[in-house]
Chains A and B, each alone.
Chain A
């Protein structure tokens, strides 16, 4: 029912507007401030519009001088690699757990789901030494493997539910036609599960792109930093070298890809949240 009391309606609108501004406004002045020089920062008016000429050069400056081009490439490779690997591994297991009964299948499912409750801070130290022993510290592959493992439980959980919701007749028809188990999975079931796969993919992509805790432990050479790590290092350097405009430019470079993904895949992100929370 719609709110009738005009005062109540006004209050609700004001609260919504204030929060909307609180969310949007910091991002807006990130853009404005990315185009300023230090002098304008010390005017102490963060809300002021940048003066002309706009310093678009701040972007090329962080891109080259602060190595954001390298970080960007690292982030792309690590995110794409880990998301795909995690997705394939979880889709295979999820399909079996949803469709084939075998001894221990319930136990296996429970183990995967329960592992979502483990704080990964616990595994941090051993993971570092494991990767060290495998000579995978400071490599793309190291981060890809660790992030993919982190993605597994959610992917398995969501996709088991998704495969269970698909009608069995489709597979039965494929098997009667003489299609092998593998053929049924790769040619029939995998394409059918596309909506579920996309939800898993987008959710994990965002997580992997934004990850910092493990990344900062598993990389210590600037050439292997991902964007969040590079940005954190750059902000720490601001104590000695004050370059606010470039810092904000770097912040935008880190954020824009996820904002774009969000705008395109809003619906899948929302369905990922609701599906993941039923656990």
Chain B
């Protein structure tokens, strides 16, 4: 009798701690996700009475929508550019600030992380000013060398304006991944490096043979994290810097096109389908990357 009442009170305790969170999670995460999957098959302008089931027609439309392909291309351009730019610099900084025994390493580490605590909106505004054709920093700086006024419209090239979004996103991203890699490098036992020193191995060979293999796990996590956050969150920088896809819809990413379609043109069904496409594309990309990077670990050993 006593044990069963004990058990009851234990179960009640568990339930009272698990269920509120789970209901909350279901309402604000699970339910919207399921709704999105469902609504992606509807022609839907936002009013419930104007909602018509059309199967996979939204996805078929997507295949014939040139802007979607531009957007996917831009998303991948940012993914590749960010992975290369961020990983190279973040790894270099992480190694330089740990293995090279520099004085003031702590100072640099603290400084380098600052862009990561700033809102993407602020970063967008800041870089808009750098690129501003009339009073911007970049043109004024170039004018110092040319001696005459420079007025390049950095965010208005008919093609390739998406390139201009790469510096701000790399600038903003490095600190986070640098910290991640620093933590991994600090955890490598010093004896490994001491042994390498005795063998006369130089910095580069130590990096290749000790540091790289032992932080590979973190590098993998970082790359996948960059992929997911880029596919998911490039919307903000596009919205802020190129007015949501300008010039001429050449700088759209999937997120900004979703926003345009749903909340400015009221094609909510089509918007939901774009959301599903973002999910599918990021899952596939993650899976492929995990496969590729797993093989590389095996080769290294």
Residues of B within 8 A of A (CB): 9-11, 13-14, 17-18, 20-22, 24-25, 27-29, 31-33, 35-36, 39, 46, 89, 92-93, 96-97, 99-102, 108, 110-115, 117-122, 124-126, 128-130, 134-137, 139-140, 143, 149, 171, 176, 179-180, 183, 193, 197, 203, 206, 218, 221-222, 225, 228, 231-233, 235-236, 239-240, 254-255, 258-259, 262-263, 268, 271-272, 275-276, 278-279, 282-283, 286
Instruction: A16-B97, A122-B36, A126-B35 given; name 12 further pairs at CB < 8 Å.
Output: A30-B126, A117-B286, A122-B275, A122-B279, A123-B36, A125-B35, A149-B25, A235-B124, A244-B135, A269-B113, A273-B176, A279-B221
- Check: A255 CB closer than 8 A to any chain B CB: yes
Contact B28–A127 (Cβ < 8 Å): yes
Q: Which residues of the partner chain A approach B27 to less than 8 Å between Cβ atoms?
A: 130, 149
- Check: A277 CB closer than 8 A to any chain B CB: yes
Q: How far is the CA of A261 from the CA of B31 in the complex (A)?
A: 34
Contact B36–A261 (Cβ < 8 Å): no
How many A-B residue pairs have C-beta atoms within 8 angstroms? Tell me.
Answer: 249
Q: Which residues of the partner chain B approach A115 to less than 8 Å between Cβ atoms?
A: 25, 29
Instruction: Summarize B's interface: helix, strand, loop or mixed.
Output: helix
B33 touches which of A2, A122, A152, A182 (Cβ 8 Å):
A122
* Also in contact, A12 and B100, with CB within 8 A (given A231-B125, A254-B119): yes
Contact A125–B272 (Cβ < 8 Å): yes
> In the complex, what's the smallest C-beta–C-beta distance from B128 to chain A, in angstroms?
7
Number of chain A residues close to chain B: CB under 8 A: 88
Q: How far is the CA of A180 from the CA of B129 in the complex (A)?
A: 59
Contact A118–B203 (Cβ < 8 Å): no
Contact A228–B114 (Cβ < 8 Å): no
> In the complex, what's the smallest C-beta–C-beta distance from A273 to chain B, in angstroms?
5
Contact with B along A254-277 (1 / 0, CB 8 A): 110011011000100110011001
* Also in contact, A1 and B101, with CB within 8 A (given A125-B262, A273-B179): yes
Q: CB-nearest residue of chain A relative to B127? A: A26
Residues of A within 8 A of B (CB): 1-3, 12-13, 15-16, 19-20, 22-24, 26-27, 29-30, 41-42, 44-47, 89-90, 92-93, 95-96, 100, 102, 108, 112, 115, 117-130, 145-146, 148-149, 152, 156, 180-182, 185, 206, 209-213, 216-217, 227-229, 231-232, 235, 244, 247, 251, 254-255, 258-259, 261-262, 266, 269-270, 273-274, 277-279
Q: Which residues of the partner chain B approach A96 to less than 8 Å between Cβ atoms?
A: 14, 17-18
Contact B120–A212 (Cβ < 8 Å): yes
Contact B111–A23 (Cβ < 8 Å): yes
Contact B221–A277 (Cβ < 8 Å): yes
Q: How far is the CA of A115 from the CA of B31 in the complex (A)?
A: 12
Q: Which residues of the partner chain B approach A235 to less than 8 Å between Cβ atoms?
A: 124-125, 128, 240
Pairs A–B under 8 Å by Cβ, sample size 23? A1-B99, A16-B102, A20-B111, A23-B111, A23-B171, A24-B114, A29-B137, A44-B139, A46-B135, A46-B136, A92-B21, A102-B14, A117-B286, A118-B33, A121-B258, A122-B36, A122-B278, A124-B259, A129-B35, A149-B28, A258-B117, A273-B176, A277-B225
